[in-house]
């Protein structure tokens, strides 16, 4: 009838194929014309801030977001420049990143791995984010880091303390500034020995998930190495709210020290319960009973209130540090928001500057070039003294703070006091340390 | 032996909270026939009544501390509660210290009001709807209520301690001939248990020994006949909803020194409390109380190291395991009445 090969059925078929092609996730196709995923082509560059905005860590997420907004302001030349003026690298000049104005989008991790991956994916695919950063949990960090590796964007982790983030789950596109469980153990052990002696019987209560395990392992190996005995280690469900039935048997076990490998709400409740049981007023084995919290955060110290008084723990950073970088950041943050920043805010702010600086030094947003610029990079002036981004595992090596709950706080933010700044050499470990074994960085991915 | 006594004691205070919440749930189910998933939220609102009162009592003005500066180098200020100005520092400090027990007086009218508004404003429209609809609407309400609390109070737990007279623990072991430190029990948890016992006793006495209670019980048994006698049973049931809300709220008020309250604490208790109601028997008030204490004690035993070593993970599933066994062997629950939730 006709020489025309186009039939209705053929048209429908090709239409369906074309439709399917268009419907393919842009993560696989969008930057086919670009050298790498979400290559910024206009006058702006978009960063993705993935923080808990709902759920139990929403307050910590809000503080992270404040820090990110401050970092963007400083990168674009606003405010007083904060730590850009104290940063040892002078590549950043307040004109954005590579002359492009920095813009940002935010996602809500809800402190759930699946929600965090969905929000990161949306920021990469829909908003064109060239870097994802943030988070308040190791589960989320590991999940989002793997996603960023697949998508070909850089991931600058927020608050994540598990060894696994830069251990068995490390990825070439992911970087962690925050310290880890091993470092907490290595920093705490000598202080504990000096204050409580080398003959102690410890009882561990450990949150039954990845971070809890790595923290227990780190604290046990560090304290056992100096002579402490671990009399028991009990896993507690992550959803547990009342820890009385786990705390009551502690005294019966003959232990004279309780280590709470808990974070967030778990730690607030377990510490409150332990103090309620009067453990700290007891004498066991001829010694005063002691409680230890390996990882402190502001959220936890505020939640536990007066119960933290005199209890040792560790942190990544504290606003009372007197180096130029910390003072500049505290002034900048405090002036804008009216209160001092938390360690979560600090690490997020620093990660943003470090990313921007790496891009600036590399001269491109290309992830593999950024990875190269960050690997083995040594810097100073960002609040933790001399710091190295180790090439082998993308973990920052810097001094670690051992802190203690303050006896007489002057405000709701003045809850911890620094007992010791543990030098970096004491918390450094070889890349193949058993606590970090089992993973490989792999190669960086530009996506594209 | 000492470990067993210790876990029984532990189970009692855990069971107190379960029993109080489950009692309120059963009251609402027994009177109005509504499965109220917002009941955990009422417990949470009660806890925040304590937080609110302690903040109201602690309302303060700033006073400069001479010679000291804050983190930005500005003169340091400290908060001085107005109550110190009005009553002197010693009396003011004592009132601040006793904020949680005082919150009971504050919470009773607030919770009754919240309960009545909830029932009249929303739940009464769902009486004749299927249980699934009731569950959906009350669950939605619970989420709305917790988001409202989070908006005003934030997501972080808020430490709200017990009066200093009740800090520390009581060495129960020494009293019954064990070594020191073998059976210790915090004073406030003893207070909580005693408080729960009083509230439970008061609710039962109210239902058993007052005319109002008699009518309500009659209504629970046969609503239609009571209505035919010219008694406005709906009005009484609304009041019962308010009382159930107050019971959950008071459980929340007294719970805040045990664990610092946060916006999702209601949800943490809700599912467990439903299991308690099912195990106790839908609609049975003594069943709810019995199952509350029983499951609290079982949960404590399941958390013992020796038990976990024997059956790993038992601490996480014990309550549900018991629920399954009870439902298989006694579908009506421990003290369930015939005809309730049955066709």
Taken as a whole, chain B contains a residue count of 343
- Quote the tokens at residue B205: 């006495």
Segment (H or E) for A292: strand A290-295
Q: How confident is the model at residue A22 (pLDDT cuts 50, 70, 90)?
A: very low
268-297 in chain A: CB under 8 A from chain B: 268-269, 272-273, 276-278, 281-282, 284
Distance from CA of B329 to the nearest CA of A (A): 29
Residue B96 lies in a domain: no
Distance from CA of B256 to the nearest CA of A (A): 11
The pLDDT tens digits of the residues spanning A365-402 come to 999 999 999 999 999 999 999 999 999 999 999 999 99
Residue B111: partners with Cβ closer than 8 Å, 6 or more residues away: B42, B45, B46, B49, B242, B245, B246, B248, B249, B250
Rounded-to-integer distance, Cα A277 and Cα B258, Å: 10
Q: How confident is the model at residue B266 (pLDDT cuts 50, 70, 90)?
A: very high
Crossing angle for the helix pair B265-280 and B39-57, to the nearest 10 degrees: 140
- Quote the tokens at residue A73: 């302001």
Higher pLDDT, B340 or A427: A427
Q: Looking up tokens 């020994």, which residue turns up?
A: B209
Residue B88 lies in a domain: no
Phi and psi of A192, rounded to 5°? Answer: -65, -40
The pLDDT tens digits of the residues spanning A105-123 come to 999 999 899 999 999 999 9
Distance from CA of B77 to the nearest CA of A (A): 9
Q: Is the pLDDT of residue A21 over 80?
A: no
Q: Looking at the complex, does the CB of residue A316 fall below 8 Å from at least one CB of chain B?
A: no
Residue B82 lies in a domain: no
Rounded-to-integer distance, Cα B195 and Cα B128, Å: 36
Overall number of domains in chain B = 1
What residues in A contact B13, CB-CB < 8 Å?
244
Considering the entire predicted model, what is its pTM?
Answer: 0.87
Is A252 close to B6, i.e. CB distance below 8 A? yes
| Beta carbon pairs, A and B, within 8 Å | 128
Q: Looking up tokens 């604290």, which residue turns up?
A: A219
Is A303 close to B159, i.e. CB distance below 8 A? yes
Is B186 close to A241, i.e. CB distance below 8 A? no
Helices (H), B256-336: 265-280, 285-302, 305-310, 314-329
- β-strands A416-422, A400-405: how paired? antiparallel
Is B305 close to A281, i.e. CB distance below 8 A? no
Q: Is the pLDDT of residue A288 over 50?
A: yes
- β-strands A201-207, B169-171: how paired? unpaired
Residue/partner pairs of A71-77 with CB below 8 Å, 24 or more apart: A71/A348, A71/A349, A71/A352, A71/A353, A71/A356, A72/A47, A72/A102, A72/A103, A72/A104, A72/A352, A74/A332, A74/A353, A75/A102, A75/A352, A75/A353, A75/A356, A76/A101, A76/A102
Q: Is the pLDDT of residue B193 over 90?
A: yes
Residue B63 lies in a domain: no
What residues in A contact B167, CB-CB < 8 Å?
276, 278
End-to-end CA, chain A: 47
State the pLDDT at residue A138: 92
Contact yes or no for B18/B289 (Cβ under 8 A): no
Question: Percent of chain A, pLDDT > 90?
Answer: 79
Question: Per-residue pLDDT averaged across B311-326, rounded?
Answer: 90
Question: Per-residue pLDDT averaged across B140-147, rounded?
Answer: 94
Domains and CATH numbers, chain A: 44-179+319-398 (3.40.50.2300), 182-315 (3.40.50.2300)
State the pLDDT at residue A33: 54
Q: Looking at the complex, does the CB of residue A246 fall below 8 Å from at least one CB of chain B?
A: yes
- Quote the tokens at residue B328: 């298989």
Question: Per-residue pLDDT averaged across B52-72, rounded?
Answer: 90
For an interface test with B, which of A62, A248, A279, A417 has the most B Cβ atoms less than 10 Å from its Cβ? A248
Q: Is the pLDDT of residue A147 over 60?
A: yes
State the pLDDT at residue A1: 37
Nearest to B156 among A299, A330, A413 (CB): A299
Rounded-to-integer distance, Cα A223 and Cα A189, Å: 5
Distance from chain centroid for Cα A117:
16
End-to-end CA, chain B: 46
Provide the ipTM: 0.88
Question: Per-residue pLDDT averaged across A309-338, rounded?
Answer: 96
The pLDDT tens digits of the residues spanning A405-421 come to 999 888 888 899 999 99
Higher pLDDT, A410 or A25: A410
Q: Looking up tokens 């960002």, which residue turns up?
A: A382
Helix and strand tally (H, E) in chain B? 15, 4
Question: Percent of chain B, pLDDT > 70?
Answer: 98
Contact yes or no for A153/A173 (Cβ under 8 A): yes
Question: Which of A180-184, A246-250, A354-358 is predicted with the least confidence, judged by mean pLDDT?
Answer: A246-250
Residue B215 lies in a domain: yes
CB-facing half-sphere around the CA of A42: CA atoms within 13 A: 9
- Please tell me whether residue A118 adopts helix, strand or coil conformation: helix
What residues in A contact B260, CB-CB < 8 Å?
268-269, 272, 303-305
Per the structure, the complete domain to which residue B278 belongs is given by 2-50+104-329
Q: Is the pLDDT of residue A2 over 50?
A: no
The pLDDT tens digits of the residues spanning B251-265 come to 999 999 999 999 989
Residue B288 lies in a domain: yes
Question: Per-residue pLDDT averaged across A119-146, rounded?
Answer: 95
* HEC per residue, A245-275: HHHHHHHHCCCCEEEEECCHHHHHHHHHHHH
CB-facing half-sphere around the CA of A434: CA atoms within 13 A: 3
Furthest C-alpha separation in chain B: 77
CA distance readout (Å), A132 to A154, A175, A273: 6, 11, 38
What residues in B contact A306, CB-CB < 8 Å?
159, 161
Question: Per-residue pLDDT averaged across B120-149, rounded?
Answer: 92
Question: Per-residue pLDDT averaged across A90-98, rounded?
Answer: 96
- Quote the tokens at residue B53: 């009162």
Across all residues in chain A, what is the average pLDDT?
Answer: 91
State the pLDDT at residue A13: 55
State the pLDDT at residue A10: 52
Question: Per-residue pLDDT averaged across A64-86, rounded?
Answer: 97
- Please tell me whether residue A380 adopts helix, strand or coil conformation: coil
Q: How confident is the model at residue A24 (pLDDT cuts 50, 70, 90)?
A: very low
Rounded-to-integer distance, Cα A431 and Cα A114, Å: 29
Residue B24 lies in a domain: yes
Question: Per-residue pLDDT averaged across A421-448, rounded?
Answer: 94
- Surface-to-core class of residue A103, CB atoms within 10 Å of its CB (0-12 exposed, 13-18 middle, 19+ buried): middle
Is A252 close to B157, i.e. CB distance below 8 A? no
Nearest alpha-carbon partner for A269 in A207, A344, A204, A179? A207
Distance from CA of A273 to the nearest CA of B (A): 7
Contact yes or no for A134/A68 (Cβ under 8 A): yes
**In 10 A of CB A421, how many CB atoms?**
16
Is A340 close to B71, i.e. CB distance below 8 A? yes
Q: How confident is the model at residue A27 (pLDDT cuts 50, 70, 90)?
A: very low
Nearest alpha-carbon partner for A121 in A156, A81, A151? A151
DSSP state of B165: G
Q: How confident is the model at residue B339 (pLDDT cuts 50, 70, 90)?
A: low
Higher pLDDT, B275 or A31: B275
Q: How confident is the model at residue B341 (pLDDT cuts 50, 70, 90)?
A: low
Question: Per-residue pLDDT averaged across A195-219, rounded?
Answer: 94
Rounded-to-integer distance, Cα A120 and Cα A46, Å: 13
Is B188 close to A299, i.e. CB distance below 8 A? no
**In 10 A of CB B209, how many CB atoms?**
9
Give the DSSP per-residue string, B16-79: HHHHHHHHHHHHHHHHH----TTHHHHHHHHHHHHHHHHHHHT-EEEEEEEEEE-TTSSEEEEE
Contact yes or no for B31/B127 (Cβ under 8 A): no
What residues in B contact A319, CB-CB < 8 Å?
71
State the pLDDT at residue B35: 86
Higher pLDDT, B282 or B321: B321
CB-facing half-sphere around the CA of A24: CA atoms within 13 A: 13
Residue B185 lies in a domain: yes
Contact yes or no for A229/A201 (Cβ under 8 A): yes
What residues in B contact A281, CB-CB < 8 Å?
168
Distance from CA of A374 to the nearest CA of B (A): 33
């Amino acid at each position: 009838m006709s020489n025309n090969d186009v039939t209705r059925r053929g048209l429908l078929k090709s239409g369906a194929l074309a439709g399917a092609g268009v419907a393919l996730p842009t993560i696989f196709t969008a930057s086919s014309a670009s050298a790498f995923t979400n290559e910024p082509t206009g006058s702006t560059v978009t960063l993705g801030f993935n923080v808990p905005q709902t759920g139990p860590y929403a307050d910590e997420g809000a503080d992270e977001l404040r820090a990110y907004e401050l970092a963007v302001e400083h990168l674009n030349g606003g405010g007083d420049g904060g730590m850009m003026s104290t940063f040892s690298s002078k590549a950043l000049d307040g004109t954005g990143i590579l002359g492009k104005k920095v813009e940002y989008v935010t996602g809500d991790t809800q402190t759930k791995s699946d929600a965090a991956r969905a929000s990161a994916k949306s920021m990469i695919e829909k908003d064109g984010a060239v870097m994802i950063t943030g988070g308040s949990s190791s589960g989320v960090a590991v999940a989002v880091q793997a996603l960023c590796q697949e998508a070909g964007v850089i991931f600058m982790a927020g608050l994540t303390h598990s060894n696994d983030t830069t251990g068995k789950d490390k990825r070439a596109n992911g970087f962690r500034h925050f310290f880890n469980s091993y470092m907490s153990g290595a920093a705490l052990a000598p202080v504990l020995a000096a204050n409580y002696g080398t003959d102690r019987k410890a009882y561990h209560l450990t949150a039954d998930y990845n971070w809890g395990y790595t923290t227990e392992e780190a604290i046990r190996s560090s304290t056992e190495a100096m002579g402490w005995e671990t009399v028991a280690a009990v896993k507690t469900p992550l959803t547990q709210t009342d820890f009385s039935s786990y705390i009551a048997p502690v005294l019966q076990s003959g232990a004279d020290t309780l280590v709470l490998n808990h974070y967030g709400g778990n730690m607030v409740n377990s510490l409150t319960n332990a103090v309620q049981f009067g453990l700290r007023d007891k004498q066991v084995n001829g010694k005063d009973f002691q409680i230890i919290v390996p990882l402190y955060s502001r959220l936890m110290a505020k939640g536990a209130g007066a119960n933290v008084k005199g209890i040792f723990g560790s942190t990544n950073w504290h606003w009372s540090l007197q180096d130029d970088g910390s003072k500049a950041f505290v002034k900048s943050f405090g002036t804008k928001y009216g209160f001092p920043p938390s360690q979560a805010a600090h690490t997020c702010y620093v990660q943003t500057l470090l990313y921007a600086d790496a891009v600036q030094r590399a001269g491109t947003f290309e992830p593999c070039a950024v990875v190269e610029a960050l690997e083995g990079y040594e810097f100073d002036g960002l609040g933790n003294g001399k710091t190295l981004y180790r090439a082998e595992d993308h973990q920052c090596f810097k001094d670690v703070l051992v802190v203690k709950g303050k006896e007489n706080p002057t405000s709701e933010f003045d809850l911890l006091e620094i007992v010791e700044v543990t030098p970096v050499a004491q918390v450094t470990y070889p890349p193949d340390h058993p606590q970090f074994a089992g993973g490989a960085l792999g190669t960086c991915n530009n996506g594209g | 032996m000492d470990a067993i006594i210790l876990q029984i004691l532990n189970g009692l205070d855990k069971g107190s909270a379960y029993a109080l919440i489950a009692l309120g749930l059963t009251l609402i189910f027994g009177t109005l026939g509504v499965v109220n998933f917002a009941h955990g939220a009422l417990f949470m609102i009660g806890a925040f009544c304590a937080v609110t009162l302690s903040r109201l009592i602690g309302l303060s003005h700033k006073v400069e501390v001479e010679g000291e500066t804050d983190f930005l180098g500005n003169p340091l200020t400290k908060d001085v509660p107005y109550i110190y100005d009005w009553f002197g520092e010693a009396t003011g400090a004592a009132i601040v210290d006793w904020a949680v027990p005082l919150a009971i007086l504050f919470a009773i009218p607030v919770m009754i009001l919240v309960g009545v508004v909830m029932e009249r404003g929303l739940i009464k429209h769902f009486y004749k709807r299927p249980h699934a609809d009731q569950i959906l609407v009350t669950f939605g309400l619970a989420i709305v209520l917790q988001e409202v609390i989070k908006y005003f109070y934030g997501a972080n737990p808020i430490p709200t301690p017990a009066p200093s007279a009740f800090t520390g623990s009581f060495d129960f072991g020494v009293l019954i001939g064990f070594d020191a430190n073998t059976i210790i029990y915090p004073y406030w948890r003893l207070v909580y248990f005693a408080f729960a016992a009083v509230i439970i006793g008061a609710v039962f006495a109210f239902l058993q020994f007052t005319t109002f209670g008699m009518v309500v019980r009659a209504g629970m048994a046969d609503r239609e006949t009571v209505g035919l006698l010219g008694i406005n049973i709906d009005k009484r049931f609304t009041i019962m909803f308010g009382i159930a809300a107050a019971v959950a709220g008071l459980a929340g008020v007294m719970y805040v020194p045990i664990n610092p309250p946060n916006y999702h604490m209601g949800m943490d208790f809700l599912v467990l409390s439903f299991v308690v109601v099912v195990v106790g028997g839908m609609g049975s008030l003594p069943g709810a109380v019995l199952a509350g204490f029983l499951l609290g004690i079982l949960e404590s035993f399941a958390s013992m190291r020796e038990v976990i070593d024997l059956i790993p993970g038992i601490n996480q599933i014990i309550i549900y395991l018991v629920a399954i066994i009870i439902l298989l062997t006694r579908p009506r629950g421990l003290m369930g009445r015939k005809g309730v939730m049955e066709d």
